[in-house]
Chain A
Amino acid sequence: MTDNAPATMSPDEAFGRALVARTSFEKEAVWLPMLAVHHWNADIMAIDGKTFTDCVIEGPAVMAVMAGTSFDSCNMGTTSDVKTLLFKPMGQKMAGVVGMSNCKFIRCRFAQVGFTGSDDLLNDLTAGIVRQSDVAPTGTLA
């Protein structure tokens, strides 16, 4: 006879797995580095297909904005120069960033989060982001 009892999962591991399985977040504070770590622990290298509504997205982190990710009425950060949020990759790959694809951010506020991606993306973000101080409290991304 053999012991076929399944290995038990630690509370932290169970929490991480549950977090990875979620597809929506609402009115929550999301610590982006830890969200990424839980995904990587589950062998998922990019966060995909999640919707964040009325959330605070916290860094420190640099988000790689990948295909299908959108921002609707978000406050990207309190800064007088939107370029301070942006990073241009020097190579063909990107290390150290949190990749997010097919994710939707609706009325979210970003704190200590930078953004990177293709040249087109960086140009769009530069053109579209409005400073928090210039608009109504919710902010707008054109």
Chain B
Amino acid sequence: MATDQSPPRQVEMREMDPLGKTFSGGHFALFDLYRANIQAGGGAIIEGREFTNCFIEGPAVMLVLEGTHFDGVNFGPSGGDLRNILFQPVSGQRAIGAIPVRNCTFTNCQFHTLGITGGEDLLRTLIEQVKTTD
């Protein structure tokens, strides 16, 4: 399952198609992908993508919606407590300012300066299943 042990950082900057379905080995800011996705007509939700071996950074808070999975993901430094990267949306219905991600998979990715928000079940699962090492 996912951990936050740090793998070597891949520093690769290259052009991306914001509407692409698969991203492999890329290094980008999540807010850049969000904005480019909107400008390209992809809408306000990052949906149906597969991210593999990507380095994804903030500042951003990711709103994890249904169908999104994390496998072998390094969530970044958490100070030994994953709750340090987690936020509860006060509303429970919407989370303005967070970047919504739905039906996406993140495999062997590294996150940096990303917070995570979502429903209670998601937050509970992350706390229970993600191992912290820093």
Q: Could you list which residues of chain A lie within 8 angstroms of chain B, going by C-beta atoms?
A: 33, 36-37, 40, 59-63, 77, 79, 81, 83-98, 112-116, 122, 126
Contact = CB atoms under 8 A, between A and B. Distances in A.
Interface stretch (B6-14, B17-25, B64-72, B78-86): B78-86
Interface of B: 29, 31, 34-35, 58-62, 76-79, 81-99, 113-117, 123
| A contact face: mostly helix, strand, loop, or mixed | mixed
B97 A89 contact: no
Contact of B98 (A36, A37, A62, A89): A62
Contacts of B78: 91, 93, 95
A90 B78 CA distance: 12
Given A60-B34, A86-B90, A91-B81, A98 B59 contact: yes
Contact of A95 (B29, B76, B89, B92): B76
Contacts of B60: 33, 60-62, 96
